[in-house]
Amino acid sequence: MTVKAFRSACLDFVADPFYTSESESVRYIRDALLVVENGKIKDLGDYAQLKAQYADIAIQSHPNHLILPGFIDIHIHFPQTEMIAAYGKQLLEWLEKYTFPTERRFKQKTHADSIAPVFVNELLRNGTTTALVLAAVFPESAEALFEECDRRNMRMIIGKVMMDRNVPDFLKDTAQSSYEDSKRLIERWHHHNRVLYAVTPRFAPTSTPEQLTYAGKLLAEFPDVYLHTHLSENLAEIAWVKELFPDCQNYLDVYDQFGLVRERSIFAHCIHLSDLELERLAEANSAIAFCPTSNTFLGSGLFDIERSIVQQVKLGLATDVGGGTSFSMLKTACEAYKIAQLNHQTLSPFQALFSATLGGAKALSLDDKIGNFALGKEADFIVMDPRSTPIMSLRNPETMPTTLEELADLLFSLIIMGDDRTIHSTYLLGELAHRRD
């Protein structure tokens, strides 16, 4: 039995700040002791109150740093790692010109093996401990990432993309092969240690009705796997879906017709949804992945956070690399704030960080395991340095905040100015997984 203790300021969420007050949703302990036993949270409280109880345990102290639950990125593309920051196109042209040729390389297991550690290291450097990930169409690409994440003992959800039309031949699977390959991967990896599987039709235009039928069959056969896809990101995409599925009431209805809209279904973007579609997502307990840096980069539009909150749809934040421009959930939250500004809405620092932690866990129905420091949860957490650059040292006082108002101000500066340098260290199940040099 191993017990470890970490002393620092500590922040997590115990309720949802979109629906309850900050004082009810934010748990902030200025001088906290976080105790981990066998990779799980054993205790959290004031250091002064807990120190006697844990007197014989070596304590790691991080004075004037802030411990948070690890970030959760609920939509990211593994085989787009090397094509991040590709210039100048909107979604459909960008896919043709940059994405498909890059994803083709993942047919080679050796290539996928070489990118997997780069991808995982980049997540950890940015404080992301869980992600919902699209691999390439090739099952080998999912294998490579599963192996790497399993080696690191990360709670990750991964799926091989299914696409059997409207993509170059070198990227096509078939309805039957996508079913068989996905099934094999589910049987091999779903619930293997900490990793989980997501059935992943890329988006409606690249799957035949037959393939979507097979996706529904997989969900029926393995009810607790995830469903992960894109929805209503770009106006040209939406018009195309209408042409391809003329009998469907709307874009979401395409997925609904095949039994793909339920809990543990995560839809990326959702920028141009009708009220009917939002209501259906709420009713089905499905979740939206809000991908702000991708939405501005690809010129897709401004996601309406307020509407999704009013409709009570589950919502998480996501990078969507390589449409997204950074692995950093802090930079992602910064862009989310700017989109809220352009919509004349608000996004408080607490709401943003909730979305990147417990909100993401709820979106993935993993909030019984990760997302905050409730006792018994898996101890994935990060240590943040509020003074990681000269300008941030100038901006932020040396000592930690005492009031929620001061804390909000500090967090806002981390969201607006922070990046990978802000992440001092990242822990998985209480074990050090990354430390900034």
Instruction: Give the residues lining the site for ligand GUN (CB under 6 A).
Output: 77, 91, 95, 99, 202-203, 230, 233, 294, 320, 323
4 contacts which partner out of Zn ion, ligand GUN, none, CB within 5 to 8 A by kind? none
Closest to ligand GUN by CB, 94 or 427: 94
The amino acid present at 6, given as its one-letter code, is: F
260 contacts which partner out of ligand GUN, Zn ion, none, CB within 5 to 8 A by kind? none
Which residue has its beta carbon closest to ligand GUN? 323
What is the helix (H) or strand (E) element at residue 372, kind and residue range?
Answer: none
Q: How far is the CB of 290 from Zn ion (least distance, A)?
A: 12
167 contacts which partner out of ligand GUN, Zn ion, none, CB within 5 to 8 A by kind? none
* Alpha-carbon span 272 to 288, nearest angstrom: 12
Q: How far is the CB of 322 from ligand GUN (least distance, A)?
A: 8
Closest to ligand GUN by CB, 271 or 429: 271
**DSSP per residue over 305-351, as a string?**
HHHHHHTT-EEEE---BTTBS-S-HHHHHHHHHHHHHHTT----HHH
Closest to ligand GUN by CB, 294 or 426: 294
Q: How far is the CB of 286 from ligand GUN (least distance, A)?
A: 17
Closest to Zn ion by CB, 12 or 73: 73
233 contacts which partner out of Zn ion, ligand GUN, none, CB within 5 to 8 A by kind? ligand GUN
Residues 337-369: b if buried by 16+ CB within 10 A, e if exposed: bbbbeeeeeebbbbbbbbbbbbbbbbbbbbbeb
Q: How far is the CB of 339 from ligand GUN (least distance, A)?
A: 15
202 contacts which partner out of Zn ion, ligand GUN, none, CB within 5 to 8 A by kind? ligand GUN
Q: How far is the CB of 77 from ligand GUN (least distance, A)?
A: 5
- Residue 204: closest CA among 166, 259, 249: 166
Closest to Zn ion by CB, 134 or 185: 134
Closest to ligand GUN by CB, 33 or 289: 289
Tokens representing 355 are 């979305």
Q: What is the CA radius of gyration of the chain?
A: 21
280 contacts which partner out of ligand GUN, Zn ion, none, CB within 5 to 8 A by kind? none
Tokens representing 384 are 């943040």
Q: Which residues bind Zn ion (CB under 5 A)?
A: 268, 320
Closest to ligand GUN by CB, 270 or 281: 270
Cα 339 to chain center, whole Å? 18
Q: How far is the CB of 221 from Zn ion (least distance, A)?
A: 26
* Alpha-carbon span 322 to 311, nearest angstrom: 29
Q: How far is the CB of 92 from ligand GUN (least distance, A)?
A: 9
**DSSP per residue over 288-310, as a string?**
EEE-HHHHHHTT-----HHHHHH
* Alpha-carbon span 103 to 100, nearest angstrom: 5
194 contacts which partner out of Zn ion, ligand GUN, none, CB within 5 to 8 A by kind? none
Q: How far is the CB of 230 from Zn ion (least distance, A)?
A: 6
91 contacts which partner out of Zn ion, ligand GUN, none, CB within 5 to 8 A by kind? ligand GUN
Closest to ligand GUN by CB, 9 or 162: 162
Q: Specify the 3-state DSSP secondary structure of 27.
A: strand
**DSSP per residue over 91-113, as a string?**
HHHHIIIIIHHHHHGGGSHHHHH
- Residues contacting residue 405 through CB under 8 Å, at least 6 positions apart: none
